[in-house]
């Protein structure tokens, strides 16, 4: 992860990352350390599968803790919606966007890449659709290349 890359999160996304960090540092890591200690007490470590598994899990947890701490140092909070008036009608990070596509209405929240979850209608500003939407207004049309071909979206509402 580059030191100069900005990490964009909503307030809710920041709370979730902090919750995961707390869980890993205060609950899971101590549990796994206890497993390592118990497995070590069983004797020959070269043939101790529990010890190897616990050490591997500890390594994974420590790596994730390091990653989360780096993220939390670089985070920039984005506000959902934001100001009303003309600026609210331009799509930016934190905008909730209603789109018309193939006669259907779809709604998305434009978020940073770490918080993206297409199944929950949260799209990254770095995704093809997110990039196409940033800076657009109600009534604008955007065409996005997808595996099934080009898809035409019309911006219906921005909040």
Q: What whole-number distance in Å separates Cα of residue 96 and Cα of residue 118?
A: 14
Q: What is the pLDDT of residue 5?
A: 75
Domains of the chain: 7-77 (1.10.287.180), 80-158 (3.10.50.30)
Sign of the Cα torsion 58, 60, 61, 67 reads: positive
Find residue 97's DSSP bridge partners: 108, 158
Question: Tens of pLDDT along 101-131?
Answer: 988 999 999 999 999 999 999 999 999 999 9
CB 140 within 8 A of CB 155: yes
Give 130's Cβ-side CA count (13 Å radius).
21
CB 121 within 8 A of CB 108: yes
In which band, very low, low, confident or very high, does the pLDDT at 134 lie, cut at 50, 70 and 90? very high
Q: What whole-number distance in Å separates Cα of residue 138 and Cα of residue 153?
A: 11
Question: Tens of pLDDT along 58-100?
Answer: 999 999 999 999 999 999 999 765 554 555 589 999 999 999 9
Q: What whole-number distance in Å separates Cα of residue 148 and Cα of residue 159?
A: 29
């Amino acid at each position: 992860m580059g030191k100069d890359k900005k990490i964009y999160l909503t307030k809710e996304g920041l709370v979730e990352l902090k919750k995961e960090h707390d869980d890993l540092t205060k609950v899971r890591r101590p549990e796994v350390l206890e497993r390592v200690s118990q497995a070590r007490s069983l004797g020959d470590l070269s043939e101790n599968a529990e010890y190897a598994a616990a050490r591997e899990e500890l390594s994974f947890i420590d790596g994730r803790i390091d990653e989360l701490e780096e993220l939390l140092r670089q985070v920039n909070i984005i506000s959902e919606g934001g100001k009303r008036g003309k600026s609210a009608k331009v799509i930016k990070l934190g905008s909730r966007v209603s789109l018309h596509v193939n006669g259907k209405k779809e709604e998305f929240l434009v978020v940073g890449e770490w918080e993206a979850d297409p199944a929950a209608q949260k799209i990254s500003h770095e995704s093809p659709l997110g990039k196409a939407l940033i800076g657009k207004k109600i009534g604008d049309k955007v065409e996005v290349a997808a595996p099934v071909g080009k898809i035409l979206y019309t911006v219906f509402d921005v909040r």
